[in-house]
Amino acid sequence: MLVLTRKLQEAIKIGEDIELTVLSIDGDQVKLGISAPKYIEIHRKEVFLSIQQENNQAASISLNTFQALKKIKNT
């Protein structure tokens, strides 16, 4: 991993199009500004991980469940 030290208001550039700026530091909270092209998806990592985890759990379904669901009539 590349490690860079930055001060308040300093930035780093990733490739041509992406720029990260340290906007504020307050104790253990760092506020980052990110400018990137619209097609780049930016998510908090824990949100992405929770979706992954939920998908994994959602995929573990049994034939029994399938049959139980089939019995439920349209609402």
Partner 1 sequence: MILHTKFEEIIEISEEDILHFEQGLPGFEDEKQFVLLPMEGTPFSTLQSVSTKELAFFTTNPFLFFTDYDFELVESVQKQLKIKEESDVLVQVILTIQEPLEKSTGNLQAPVVLNVKENLAKQVILTDNKYRTRHELLETSIVGQEG
Q: Which residues bind partner 1 (CB under 8 A)?
A: 38-39, 41, 43, 47-48, 50-59, 61, 63, 65-66, 68-75
In the complex with partner 1, which residue's Cβ is closer, 5 or 74?
74
Tokens representing 23 are: 């906007």
Give least dist CB 54 to partner 1, A. Answer: 4
Give least dist CB 53 to partner 1, A. Answer: 7
Which contiguous run of DSSP H or E holds residue 30? Answer: strand 29-35
- DSSP class of residue 74? P
In the complex with partner 1, which residue's Cβ is closer, 7 or 73?
73
* Nearest in space to 30 (alpha carbons), one of 44, 41, 17, 42: 44
